[in-house]
């Protein structure tokens, strides 16, 4: 497993939930289905229920319990990947096909996905077209048509190179993504975008324009710094066909993890190339 901090009571992992188990009643509330099955496997750890199962706005389920020490715990089911687990705020127990496994909240199994990465497909991004503007992707893509010629423009998340890792030092995995932007012409403008995990939601920390029709092999996150491995244009390369491989730092300033605000992003070299291509 690799050590990466997790915010207490917000969990990430893979789980196939098994068939519903019989409800267990305790103090006017009860455990149902996946929560009942997990509680049956580790009853002394989960303890008794304190509330009924309830759901958030996207359908994830949670239920508060006494925990093994009587100081409280949380059962959590995530709709996106059908996962069930329990945490006491220090350790997490995860239901898997063959039983239950546990780890510290400051650790992660190699097979655990990062909760932030799937949410990048439907996140909001600020990009510097004329004035900085926010665009929301749906399923990894934004599209519009510009008047008067009805040119189709788009922003596409290039998911194959998304990388996760702690960027702001709070112990929770963040992410860097690649956005490809086309304004109806031949140019495809590539942006590295740093996204921070703020209570499970992606919040943009900054961006850097990488070039027009460049090819990004991968991002690397190490010690809070982002590096890009990419192919850019050499002195004699046509715009269609870059050939020069480089590995360099991505120049995005990451804010203090305790600063809970909207972070400004300054204009960077290359912004003028793409100003206005998405219109208003």
Q: Average pLDDT of 189-202?
A: 92
Q: Are 206 and 254 in contact (CB under 8 A)?
A: yes
Residue 262 has pLDDT above 70, yes or no: no
| Mean pLDDT, the chain, whole residue set | 79
- At residue 99 the predicted structure's pLDDT band, cuts being 50, 70 and 90, is very high
| CA proximity to 8, closest of 86, 99, 66, 120 | 86
Residue 258 has pLDDT above 60, yes or no: no
Cα–Cα distance, 95 to 41 (Å, whole number): 9
Per DSSP, which regions of 120-173 are E strands? 124-129, 131-136, 141-146, 151-157, 163-165
pLDDT given for residue 80 in this prediction: 64
pLDDT given for residue 254 in this prediction: 85
pLDDT given for residue 115 in this prediction: 79
Lowest-pLDDT range, 47-51, 56-60, 82-86, 245-249? 56-60
Lowest-pLDDT range, 43-47, 62-66, 107-111, 200-204? 107-111
Cα–Cα distance, 245 to 66 (Å, whole number): 56
Cα–Cα distance, 109 to 105 (Å, whole number): 11
pLDDT given for residue 13 in this prediction: 36
Residue 76 has pLDDT above 80, yes or no: yes
pLDDT given for residue 57 in this prediction: 58
Place of tokens 């112990």: 171
pLDDT tens per residue, range 24-63: 444 589 999 999 999 999 999 999 999 999 987 557 788 9
Residue 187 has pLDDT above 80, yes or no: yes
Q: Average pLDDT of 170-195?
A: 89
Can you tell me whether residue 212 is helix, strand or coil? strand
Q: Which of 12-26, 127-141, 161-175 has the highest mean pLDDT?
A: 161-175
pLDDT given for residue 4 in this prediction: 39
pLDDT given for residue 60 in this prediction: 77
Q: Average pLDDT of 151-159?
A: 86
Percentage of residues of the chain with pLDDT beyond 70: 75
pLDDT given for residue 235 in this prediction: 93
pLDDT given for residue 113 in this prediction: 66
| CA proximity to 31, closest of 67, 8, 65 | 65
pLDDT given for residue 89 in this prediction: 81
- Give the other-Cβ count within 10 Å of 29's Cβ: 18
Provide the whole-model pTM. 0.56
pLDDT given for residue 58 in this prediction: 58
């Amino acid at each position: 497993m690799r050590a990466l901090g997790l915010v207490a009571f917000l969990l990430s992992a893979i789980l196939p939930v098994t068939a519903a188990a019989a409800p267990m009643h305790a103090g006017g509330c009860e455990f149902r289905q996946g929560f009942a099955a997990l509680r049956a496997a580790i009853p002394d750890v989960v303890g008794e229920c304190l509330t009924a199962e309830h759901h958030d706005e996207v359908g994830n389920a949670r239920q508060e319990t006494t925990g093994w020490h009587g100081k409280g715990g949380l059962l959590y089911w995530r709709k996106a990947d059908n996962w069930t687990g329990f945490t006491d705020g220090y350790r997490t127990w995860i239901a898997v096909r063959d039983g239950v496994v546990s780890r510290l909240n400051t650790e992660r199994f190699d097979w655990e996905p990062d909760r932030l990465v799937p949410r990048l497909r439907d996140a909001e991004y600020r990009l510097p077209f004329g004035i900085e503007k926010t665009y929301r992707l749906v399923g990894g893509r934004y599209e519009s048509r510009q008047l008067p010629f009805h040119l189709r423009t788009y922003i596409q998340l290039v998911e194959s190179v998304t990388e996760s890792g702690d960027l702001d030092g709070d112990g929770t995995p963040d992410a860097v993504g690649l956005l490809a932007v086309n304004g109806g012409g031949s140019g495809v403008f590539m942006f590295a975008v740093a996204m921070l995990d703020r209570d499970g939601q992606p919040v943009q920390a900054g961006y850097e324009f990488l070039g027009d029709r460049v090819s990004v092999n991968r991002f690397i996150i190490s010690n809070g710094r982002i590096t890009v491995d990419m192919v850019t244009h050499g002195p004699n390369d046509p715009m269609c066909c870059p050939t020069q491989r480089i590995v360099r730092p991505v120049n995005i300033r990451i804010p203090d993890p305790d600063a809970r605000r909207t972070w400004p992003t300054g204009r960077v070299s290359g912004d003028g190339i793409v100003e206005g291509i998405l219109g208003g």
